[in-house]
Amino acid sequence: MGLLDSVRGFGLTFGKLFDERVTTEYPAEKREKSERLHGRHVLNRYEDGMEKCIGCELCAGVCPANCIYVRGQDNPADDPVSPGERFGFVYEINYLRCIHCDLCVEACPTEAITESKLFEFSFTSRDDAIYTKDELLVGDDGKPQQLPWEDWRDGEDQHTSAWMRATAPSGDASYEGRVAWAGELGYGTRDPEVGQSGGDGD
Amino acid sequence: MTAPTDADVVPVTVNGVEVEANAGELLIDACERNGVYIPRFCHHPRMKPVGMCRMCLVEVDAGRGASLQPSCMLPCTPGMIVDTESDLTKKAQDGVLEFLLINHPLDCPVCDKGGECPLQDQTMAYGPGESRFVEEKRHYEKPIPISDTVYLDRERCILCDRCTRFASEVAGDPLIHFQDRGSQTQVNTFPDEPFASYFSGNTVQICPVGALTAKPYRFKARPWDLEEVDSTFPNPMGDRVNVQSSRDRVLRIQGVDSDATNWGWLTDRDRFSFEALSHDQRLVTPLVRGDSLGNATDDGDELVATSWAVAVERAASAITASLEAGGAESIGVIGGANLTTEAQYVWAKLAKGVIGTDNVDAQLGDGLPAQVVTALPRNTISDAMAPGSAVVLLVDDPKEQFGTLFLRLRHAAVEGDITIVELSPIASGLGSLVTVGAHARPGDVGAVARAIVDGRTDVEVGGVEPAELQAAAAALAARAVTVIVGRPSVAEQAGPIIDAIAAFTELESVSFLPLLRRGNISGALDMGLTPGMLPGRTTLAEGGEWYRAAWGTVPADSGLDTAGMLEAAVDGSLTTLVLLGADPLADFPDADLASRGLAACRTVIAVDIFASSSVANADVVLPAAGFAEGAGTHTNLEGRLSPLMQKVNPPGTARADWLIAAELAWALRADLGIESPESAWAEIERLAPSHAGATVEQVRAAHDGLVIPRPDDAGADRPAMVSFSAPVPTEIVPVDGYALRLVADRRLYDQGTIVQHCASMAHQSDLARISMHPLDAAALGVRDGDLVRVTSARASIELPARPDRCVPRGRAVIPLNRAGADVRALIDLATVVTDVRVATL
């Protein structure tokens, strides 16, 4: 090891001093979110206000982090919560465990659970970290609820929209995202995602 | 099961490998036995083949060239060449699945079967992968309830004929059937006739799709939520079950196919009884007498929650006080028939070896003396129903009380060459499958049995005509006879039944199956939870020395039974009573004596899972663990030991029964030396004469359980087991021509604690009614539904009447434990039988 090695080691450090800054001062400034960001989940509704979740527990079954707890119940005949026989009676996601892999979104047969680009999780207790239906369900207008610790800004509506598929059905790498369901009650619009191959970048 | 009719071995080539099939064996079974699985929907090993679903088509060359044939309909023949993986076979499987899925709704996410569905699994494994079907599917109203517990979704049905075959072939309740034709074929009930079968839950279990679902499990969990363990249901049959739970709650019980016992079937009462386990009225904390502020005081009017330390100390000090004041005879223990065999031993050791009282009885005046039951040579269920044997029924209606035994009996009567002679006072649910219905008049069954055994069949005996006596004698002649014996009616005392047993013991080839009510009653009698007996089917006189050496002390004289204990309580000589899951107020045949007895006791200590009426009047209440909440061993009517496994935790601070006994002993300054069910079993195996050689490992390992006593002579150095000696015959009560003789029997759904704590069953308990022969009813001027007054020497009750041709002349049947009227008021335990007079109001 030569004497000049330590000086040479700082070369990178000093060099970067004069590069463009990449650090932003959050929360004063929020960075643009990447196209495929997986944020917090929302539970969607149909346009008539019915919940899409049917309590099938496929999301819970596929979850690699075991962070979802769902229980179904018979739909009350006089006041159904969802179309069909069963509805999601309990729906909880533990965000201390969730790794935002979006396999739940993939597994969902009714597109009831999707992920938004909302990323602010600043709960202060373990109980707060478990989001229940009260937090996850979208409002009657299809817009997610703003939780007390979420900082929403003008023009960020599309961050709350959550209809994006994370990966392609059947693992097709050249999949170009499409809005796959009709009568969508979403809030804000978001461009369809670009496939993992064959897109502009390739 | 389609048992091989011939032991001859048939060589068959399966996928190029020569395997050995049994002659007559179905190809699908032979292939499975040799490791080649052929997909199927309709084929079920316990039912006859129908070839409905065509899923098991395979390419078979039986000498005339290869062609597709359904392997579930094809008995193996020599030289058969089978290809289950040929292109043609695969094309057929592909096509069959495509057709089956044409009208299948694919609502798997909301279907209870989704995740454990043979149609899903086999579509993934053998199916075409993608659907070409774009047309609208067939639609039906969904789901429709076809009984109180079963929903039918006709859209999902693939018409495999399993449920309909079960209903008509196995259960004998052909209440669901194919209706309409062609593409409109559907399974349904007949109009206004629900699928009111006691066995309807089995159709849910065998349905290969989600067409039949059970209300108690509906949407409770998905299959991947469930954790499961094979266990034994604590009923006298010892049905093998699979207990499934999620989040520490039992959510489903499924039958497990055991050749020896239930063949995979269960009755609805057992299958859905898990609902009671998580009922919010379960006892979860010890209770003692206290004041209205919740403070535990010695003379409070209310039951207040307390700690185990306080409750056990109270119980122990009450026992100690009674011991000092009146000796061990002033303490009694009633119940224990629903405990595990280990817990029964520990309680017997506590009562007889620590406290020193022999006032212990697991039966509440509705059973048979243990000295008789444990002394009889026993048979196994399978041997009793082997072709060429004969069965004598002297029990409650097995269809009402012992459903899986009924299914075995029914199968044997339909398929096997067995004869069934019914001596019970009224006809059972077997109906015309019975060879001879020699329905003895209550009180006369001993004389009837004697006449059949001795061949004195030329005159009428006990209400049975000579022709029937002769037919019964002929049906039993030259056959291995098994007498299934219990107490068909509590209005008839045990004496005449024991006389009948004594008569049958004189037959050349005879064995017995004692079928008494309450879950583990066989274990209770084996473990000495009964006066005069010690664990291992030995008596105080015979085994006293042996157990004194092991336990330190053993009562010198035989103690009191339940009736005796209650009378002793009334006259003040018994002051402390322990109720081990017993509810004498609701369950003892003499309700008045029970209520006076419990009221007169200074201290009543109740160990139970629910606050029954007797428990509500107790002084110390200790909450116990229920089924699936503790581990142990179960003993069935054959003496078959099978493991009971723990699946969930007991609610609150409830504890296992054996642990409660051990704690109580500790508070009495005694050490039972038992730390776990396993250590209790080790002691049973070491001491009990009947259990020598039955280690806990052997019991756990045997899929079909282990029958005791073991055939080897491991227990040769132990005290002799009790042997049967015929008592003095009970005198026959003369017939009162103006009266009807009372039969008090039991029905599947009653006011019992478990049934009433199950949401899907509680309302199925009907009102009490008196049934009598239509001619008797006509003679009395009673029409269907009339309110009548029924008067015995003791009391009179009013209830509606129903003419019923199944009831023989001169008898009146009133079910026990039904809402509306309590038949127990009429019964006098001091008389052998109860005669009642019926008058219209």
The CATH number given to whatever domain includes residue A126 is: 3.30.70.3270
SS in 3 state form for B374-413? CCCCECCHHHHCCCCEEEEEECCCHHHHCHHHHHHHHHHH
Query: What pTM did the predictor assign?
Result: 0.92
Kindly list the distances between the CA atom of residue B21 and the CA atoms of A84, B72, B78, in Å, as whole numbers in the listed order. Answer: 48, 14, 9
Any domain includes A56: yes
Pairwise pLDDT comparison (A19 vs B111), residue with the higher score: B111
The yes-or-no verdict on residue A124 having pLDDT over 70 is yes
**Cα angle: B444, vertex B494, B338; to 5 degrees:** 140
List the single residue in B with minimal CA-CA distance to A70. B221
| Mean pLDDT calculated for residue range B300-317 | 92
Pair B750, B627 in one domain: no
Any domain includes B279: no
Whole-number pLDDT of residue A37: 78
Q: Closest Cα partner for B696 from B781, B766, B634?
A: B634
Across the interface, whether the CB atoms of B110 and A86 are under 8 A apart is answered: yes
User: B interface toward A at CB cutoff 8 Å?
Assistant: 107, 109-110, 114-115, 142-143, 218-219, 221-222, 224-225
| Mean pLDDT calculated for residue range B543-568 | 95
| Mean pLDDT calculated for residue range B179-184 | 90
| Mean pLDDT calculated for residue range A10-22 | 85
Which DSSP helix (H) or strand (E) runs through B648?
none
Partners of A85 on chain B (C-beta within 8 Å) are 110, 142-143, 219
Asked if A61 reaches chain B (Cβ–Cβ under 8 Å), the answer is: yes
Q: Closest Cα partner for B490 from B361, B365, B637?
A: B365
Helix, strand and coil percent figures for chain A, each rounded to 5: 20, 15, 70
Distance CA(B719)–CA(B537), nearest Å, equals 10
Pair B703, B613 in one domain: yes
* Burial classification of residue B3, based on how many CB atoms lie within 10 Å of its CB (0-12 exposed, 13-18 middle, 19 or more buried): exposed
Q: Name residues whose C-beta falls within 8 Å of residue B77's C-beta, 6 or more positions apart in sequence.
A: B10, B12, B62
To the nearest whole angstrom, how far is the Cα of A88 from the nearest Cα of chain B?
Answer: 10
Any domain includes B241: no
Other C-beta atoms lying within 10 Å of the C-beta of residue A76:
9
CB B484 within 8 A of CB B513: yes
How many distinct structural domains can be found in chain A?
A: 1
Q: Which two tokens stand for residue B801?
A: 């009447």
Any domain includes A100: yes
Any domain includes A181: yes
Q: How confident is the model at residue B1 (pLDDT cuts 50, 70, 90)?
A: very low
Query: What are the two backbone dihedrals, phi and then psi, of residue A41, each rounded to the nearest 5 degrees?
Result: -80, 155
Distance CA(B663)–CA(B309), nearest Å, equals 9
Any domain includes A35: no
Whole-number pLDDT of residue B544: 93
The label of the residue with tokens 């090993």 reads B45
Asked if A85 reaches chain B (Cβ–Cβ under 8 Å), the answer is: yes
List the single residue in B with minimal CA-CA distance to A66. B225
Pair B478, B378 in one domain: yes
Across the interface, whether the CB atoms of B109 and A54 are under 8 A apart is answered: yes
Domain's final residue, options B494, B514, B534: B514
Residue type, A84: G
Q: How confident is the model at residue A202 (pLDDT cuts 50, 70, 90)?
A: very low
Residues 161-180, chain A, touching B (beta carbon < 8 A): none
Beta bridge partners of A42: A114
What is the sign, positive or negative, of the torsion defined by CA atoms of A166, A170, A173, A177? negative
Whole-number pLDDT of residue B512: 96
Residue type, B374: T
Any domain includes B467: yes
Other C-beta atoms lying within 10 Å of the C-beta of residue B317:
15
Pair B415, B430 in one domain: yes
Pairwise pLDDT comparison (B8 vs B221), residue with the higher score: B221
**How much of chain B exceeds pLDDT 90, in percent?**
87
The yes-or-no verdict on residue A196 having pLDDT over 70 is no
- CATH code of the domain covering residue B423: 3.40.228.10
Q: How many interface pairs between A and B have CB atoms less than 8 angstroms apart?
A: 32
Tens digits of residue pLDDT in A47-68: 888 999 999 999 999 999 999 9
Pair B454, B582 in one domain: no
Residue type, B671: D
Query: What are the two backbone dihedrals, phi and then psi, of residue B478, each rounded to the nearest 5 degrees?
Result: 60, 25
Any domain includes A173: yes
Phi and psi based region of residue B41 (left: phi greater than 0; alpha: psi -120 to 50; beta: remaining): alpha
Q: Name residues whose C-beta falls within 8 Å of residue B715's C-beta, 6 or more positions apart in sequence.
A: B536, B688, B689, B690, B691, B692, B693, B709
Pairwise pLDDT comparison (B397 vs A37), residue with the higher score: B397
Domain span including residue A48: 40-141+151-187
Pair B649, B688 in one domain: yes
CB B750 within 8 A of CB B781: no
Across the interface, whether the CB atoms of A58 and B109 are under 8 A apart is answered: yes
Pair B86, B46 in one domain: yes
- CATH code of the domain covering residue B626: 3.40.50.740
Q: How confident is the model at residue A162 (pLDDT cuts 50, 70, 90)?
A: low
Domain's final residue, options B514, B547, B580: B514
Task: Starting at the earlier edge strand, list the strands of the sheet with B240-246.
Answer: B227-232, B240-246, B249-255
Which DSSP helix (H) or strand (E) runs through B681?
helix B677-687
- B114, B218, B222 member nearest A74 (Cβ): B218
Any domain includes A45: yes
Asked if A81 reaches chain B (Cβ–Cβ under 8 Å), the answer is: no
Pair B357, B387 in one domain: no
Any domain includes B251: no
Domain's final residue, options B53, B69, B99: B99
CB B286 within 8 A of CB B305: yes
Domain span including residue B459: 372-514
Distance CA(B491)–CA(B834), nearest Å, equals 6
Any domain includes A200: no
Tens digits of residue pLDDT in B16-63: 999 999 988 999 999 999 999 999 999 999 999 999 999 999 999 988
Partners of B218 on chain A (C-beta within 8 Å) are 74
Distance CA(B714)–CA(B694), nearest Å, equals 9
How many distinct structural domains can be found in chain B?
A: 4
- CATH code of the domain covering residue B87: 3.10.20.740
Output the DSSP codes for B120-161.
Answer: HHHHHHHS-SS----SPPP---S-EESSSSEEE-TTT-----
Pair B376, B362 in one domain: no
Q: Which two tokens stand for residue A185?
A: 């009650």
Pair B440, B583 in one domain: no
The yes-or-no verdict on residue A175 having pLDDT over 90 is no
Any domain includes B442: yes
Distance CA(B584)–CA(B567), nearest Å, equals 13
| Mean pLDDT calculated for residue range A127-137 | 93
| Mean pLDDT calculated for residue range B398-420 | 94
The yes-or-no verdict on residue B4 having pLDDT over 50 is no
Distance CA(B424)–CA(B445), nearest Å, equals 8
Q: Name residues whose C-beta falls within 8 Å of residue B157's C-beta, 6 or more positions apart in sequence.
A: B186, B187, B209, B211
Tens digits of residue pLDDT in B616-641: 999 999 999 999 999 999 999 999 99
The yes-or-no verdict on residue A20 having pLDDT over 90 is no
The yes-or-no verdict on residue B444 having pLDDT over 70 is yes
Any domain includes B273: no
- C-alpha atoms less than 13 angstroms from C-alpha of B404 in its C-beta half-sphere: 32
Pair B564, B670 in one domain: yes
The alpha carbon of B822 is separated from its chain's Cα centroid by a whole number of angstroms, namely 24
Distance CA(B343)–CA(B333), nearest Å, equals 14
Distance CA(A82)–CA(A15), nearest Å, equals 60
Kindly list the distances between the CA atom of residue B209 and the CA atoms of B163, B213, B612, in Å, as whole numbers in the listed order. Answer: 11, 9, 40
Partners of B224 on chain A (C-beta within 8 Å) are 57, 61
Whole-number pLDDT of residue A84: 85
Whole-number pLDDT of residue B592: 93
Across the interface, whether the CB atoms of A56 and B114 are under 8 A apart is answered: yes
Any domain includes B123: no
The yes-or-no verdict on residue B3 having pLDDT over 50 is no
Whole-number pLDDT of residue B337: 95
Q: How confident is the model at residue A174 (pLDDT cuts 50, 70, 90)?
A: low
Asked if A113 reaches chain B (Cβ–Cβ under 8 Å), the answer is: no
Mean model confidence pLDDT for chain B: 93
The yes-or-no verdict on residue A194 having pLDDT over 80 is no
Any domain includes B409: yes
Any domain includes A26: no
Pair B479, B414 in one domain: yes
**How much of chain B exceeds pLDDT 70, in percent?**
99
Whole-number pLDDT of residue B640: 95
